[in-house]
Amino acid sequence: MKRYILLALLAAGQAAAAGDAKVGAVLFKRCASCHQVGPYAQGGFGPQLNGIIGRHAASTRDYKYSEAMKKSGLVWDEKTLAAYLRAPHDVVPGTSMRFWGIKDEQQVADLLSFMRTLK
């Protein structure tokens, strides 16, 4: 019996980690006041986020990044993005991003699922 409960809990955790891109798109509306996506996206209060997964931090030309971000040496993989979404100032101390972070793991997973769709 314990074995089945453990398997059910593991499966539920994996489902949550997968995220829902449609829910992530709705959640992204909070980010859209600073970040643009889509064919006409450009930097504004924050950098545009097209193709963010796999991109080097501070690499777009249409946004003035903080020195902390320029020196971070990060590549935005899903693990790094998830950590940054949870606590930006822990991942890049001195970042100019004015955001406290997301504590809800499902919301982080949903946002990452949406970000995977950005080309």
Tell whether the model's pLDDT for residue 8 goes beyond 90: no
pLDDT tens per residue across span 19-75: 999 999 999 999 999 999 999 999 999 999 999 999 999 999 999 999 999 999 999
CA 14, distance to chain mean position in Å, is 18
Q: What are phi and psi of 111, to 5 degrees?
A: -65, -40
**Radius of gyration of the chain from Cα atoms?**
16
Q: What are the structural domains of the chain?
A: 21-117 (1.10.760.10)
Q: What is the pLDDT of residue 90?
A: 97
- Nearest residue to 72 via CA among 55, 91, 86: 91
What pLDDT does residue 5 have?
41
Tokens of 16: 């949550």
- Strand, helix or coil at 117? coil
Predicted pLDDT of residue 17: 64
